[in-house]
A and B are shown apart, each in its own frame.
Chain A
């Protein structure tokens, strides 16, 4: 069950290395502080899960933010009612978002294409509005769901006295804010990534790709495609729920704005920017968008003046004037132009760019060797070769 093909194992190890050393290599970019690192890990997990649905089956859900929100609420309620243990909170988040995804998916998957997208969007917006109105006893409406000193926390209080200040989430004494929180999120991300790899290389994953490629052929080939898609939908909903749970673990409050359609849209952007259907692409997309949102948006004119200080004064003034429109509050402009460029020139996202560049390098290095490098891939796998 834990064996994966060699190529996937290498990808996984590299990915783990990159994720776990993030506090080091992100510091030159000014992004190496726990709050943002946690977000990087959490939104990467969200994108990995979303890709199981959108990337593999091609069904574009516009409502995954709803599962993120449900996960957050479930986690905070688990803190309030049971314990500050993050594992328990994530289990609750997973179960509730899974149930939610099952219900929404069951109805939405009656339709395909644009109608499916609209249905998921409608459900998500409905959840968002309900969180502010009818469901406010559960969601605490606009104030958001927060911890209070009077929370029952039944399991925790069996073992300890009620403290005088608000508790924070902790895993057997390790606090879940700060770098420890990041590493907790990172480990969950790696587990999620591993599972996504397993799914993508399983017969189940092959069927999902078959649905994306030619759903009619799947039917005439003897596959009942509905349960395949529903399973994919529920799994990716659970990923979103766990991501929502992690948001609550690192910062124990939940608000309905997490469920708004813009959050779903952002997720679609992440996936397309990075590369639909690739495992690593959506993660890169998530990191870029979160980096822009948190760092780029904080740039101001004085930073730009420093940056362009080497230019003559009058040119510097002009360059700063132009470029200042693209940073700070204008970061959406940069992101938008980047998105347009990627979609127009690299329909496969950033991963397609990476692939093109690497194949170009391989060819330049040695045109004959390229043939040999590719060939073992192209040959039928000898049956003696074992996946490690």
Chain B
């Protein structure tokens, strides 16, 4: 049981999730500290994505609550949870394929500024200079400026991932959830992504990363939790976790070189 300390920003409290007879999450209790990068690792089917789905409000937990800064998130809709400052990058990029890269990045900025619903029917997008400038900046930062007016659906997979990350970051979320941000990427792209994530690490945002690639985990994470069969089996710094024999047995399959 993890005690939630004073600088815990997100607390997953005794969350239990069953699908029929399957215990996808069993008494998961996790505290995410402000400003840290917390990795969640575990073998396939360990319940990592289910955990993220519970946090963002896609799935209701069978038992337990998720608390952000003293406010209970459980029972709220995904858009309310986003408005409270949680943004998520999906395993397969969730973008707006028919819209341009520029619009893809502008839309989340509107959500951040104008809230969940706003009747701005007669304002022209072109008059929104502040949001346009902000979007342009982040697109340049992410190296997507050459394709700013391309339909996002036409981008390569790696660019789509970067775009989705830009869409989340323009909202300056308090907590960024990353579901395997480097899955299926080449070594080179993975390293670029690590550099990008390191850059935003300095901005004080709390990050939760689900990752398979140990290289990514050990270069980014301050804290690692290991999930196996819906249970947390180990927690600690990357080095502590690496040395834990239970982890080696459950996940790393022997020793990690």
Contacts and interface: CB of A to CB of B under 8 A. Distances in A.
Interface of A: 1, 3-5, 198-199, 201-204, 206-207, 209-210, 212-214, 216-225, 227-228, 231, 377-381, 383, 385, 387
A201 B121 contact: no
A206 B107 contact: yes
A41 B132 CA distance: 37
Interface in B85-112: 87-88, 94-99, 102-103, 106-108, 110-112
B119 A220 contact: no
Max chain A C-beta neighbours (<10 A), residue from B79, B102, B120: B79
B116 interface: yes
23 contacts: A1-B122, A198-B122, A203-B120, A204-B121, A206-B99, A206-B103, A206-B110, A209-B98, A210-B96, A212-B98, A214-B95, A217-B96, A219-B77, A219-B79, A219-B82, A220-B79, A221-B79, A221-B82, A222-B171, A223-B117, A224-B79, A379-B149, A387-B124
A109 B127 CA distance: 31
B148 A224 contact: no
Contacts of B133: 383
A217 B121 contact: no
B128 A203 contact: yes
B83 to A, nearest CB: 5
B35 interface: no
Given A5-B124, A222-B111, 7 more contacts: A202-B124, A210-B99, A217-B96, A221-B171, A222-B171, A380-B132, A380-B145
B141 to A, nearest CB: 14
A217 B95 contact: yes
B83 A201 contact: no
Contacts of A213: 96-99
Interface residues of B, number: 46
A202 B122 CA distance: 6
Given A220-B56, A222-B112, A377-B149, A202 B123 contact: yes
B91 to A, nearest CB: 13
A383 B129 contact: yes
B136 interface: yes
Given A223-B117, A380-B102, A203 B125 contact: yes
Nearest to A224: B116
Contacts of A220: 56, 78-79, 82, 87-88, 94
